[in-house]
Amino acid sequence: MKIFSKAFLVIAISFSACNISKKDKTTENVQVYTGENIVLNTVEKAVNILGSYVGSFGANKITLLITRALGDTIVGRSIVGGNNRPFAGTFTQTGETIKINAKEPGTDKNDGVFEMSVNLNKPNELLGSWKPINSKATVNEKTFTLDRKEYKYLVDVGVFPQASKRLLKDEDVSNLLISDLLFMRNEIFARHGYCFQKRDLRQQFENLDWYVPNKVDVRSMLTEIEKKNIVIIKKYEQYANDFGDSFGR
C-alpha cells in the first residue's frame, strides 16, 4: 500500500487530502471498521483513541465507535437501544489524558452530549458521561465506563453455530421449540454485530462476550449459507406457529 507524505488515505470509500508536516508523522496505523471508512492516521495521539468501546449504559449496552480523529476534531457514532447516532466534536491531550467533547446531531429528542476521557496508561478504558440536549428527552443523564472491544465476525460462537457454518437440514430444526428457532435465526444476525431494536432480543445477546453490536443493517453481510438457513428456520417457525407443540414431536 502506498503512503503519501501529505495526505491520510481513506481506503475503499473515499480519498480525502490533508496536509501533515513531517514532524507530525510519528506513527502510521491502519484502523479497520466494518461498514465504516478505513482510515490511515499519522498523528500519534489520534491513533490512541480510535476504536470501538463497549459497556453498560444505564439499562442498555452501548457501543461507541471513534472512527476518525485528525487535528483536534473527532468523529464517530453511538449504538444503543437499537438507535445509531453520529457524533462529532473535539479532543485535547493534557499529559497522559485525552479528553473528548462530542455532540449528537440534536435532530432526535434523545440526542445528547458526550464528555469522555482516555488515560494513555489505560488505553483500553474509556470513561465518560452523557446528558440529553433536549429538556424534554425521555432518557436521563448517564455515566459509563467502557472497554475497548473490536468487532470480529466469528462463526464458531453461540448456541447454534451450525446456522452460520453449514446448510441446515430438516432434521436440524424440525424438533426445535419456536423459541429455539427464533434464537437460532437471530443469533445469525448477532454474529454480524446487528443491534436489535426489540428489548427482549437485545437482552438475550448483550451479556455475551462475543457480541459487539455495531450495525443496524447487516443484510448485505450475510453469507449465502446464512441466507438459505434463515429461509428454512423461518419456514419451521411458521410451522410451529400453525401447529404448536403437535408439530414435529
Residue-wise pLDDT for 188-229, tens only, equals 999 999 888 787 888 888 888 899 888 878 999 999 999 999
Give the domain CATH number at 219.
Answer: 1.20.58.1690
In a domain, 157, yes or no: no
Q: Residues 132, 198: one domain? A: no
Q: Residues 172, 66: one domain? A: no
In a domain, 207, yes or no: yes
In a domain, 2, yes or no: no
Give the separation between CA 90 and CA 72, rounded to whole angstroms.
5
Domain stops at, among 148, 183, 198: 148
- Span 104-162, pLDDT tens digits: 999 988 899 999 999 988 989 999 999 999 888 788 899 999 999 888 899 999 999 99
Domains of the chain: total: 2
SS (H, E, C) the chain: CCCCCCEECEECCCCEECCCCHHHCCCCEEECCCCCCEEEECCHHHHCCCEEEEEEECCEEEEEEEEEEECCEEEEEEEECCEEEEEEEEEEEECCEEEEEEECCCCCCCCEEEEEEEECCCCCEEEEEEEECCCCCCCCCEEEEEEECCCCCCCCCCCCCHHHHCCCCHHHHCCCCHHHHHHHHHHHHHHCCECCCCHHHHHHHCCCCCCCCCECCCHHHCCHHHHHHHHHHHHHHHHHHHHHHHCCC
- Domain limits for position 126: 7-148
- The mean pLDDT of 171-188, rounded to a whole number, is 94
Residue 9 has pLDDT above 70, yes or no: no
User: What per-residue confidence (pLDDT) applies to 53?
Assistant: 93
Select from 138, 152, 148 the least CA-distant residue to 58.
138
Q: Residues 190, 122: one domain? A: no
Query: Do residues 191 and 158 lie in contact, with contact meaning Cβ atoms separated by under 8 Å?
Result: yes
Q: Residues 214, 116: one domain? A: no
Residue 4 has pLDDT above 50, yes or no: no
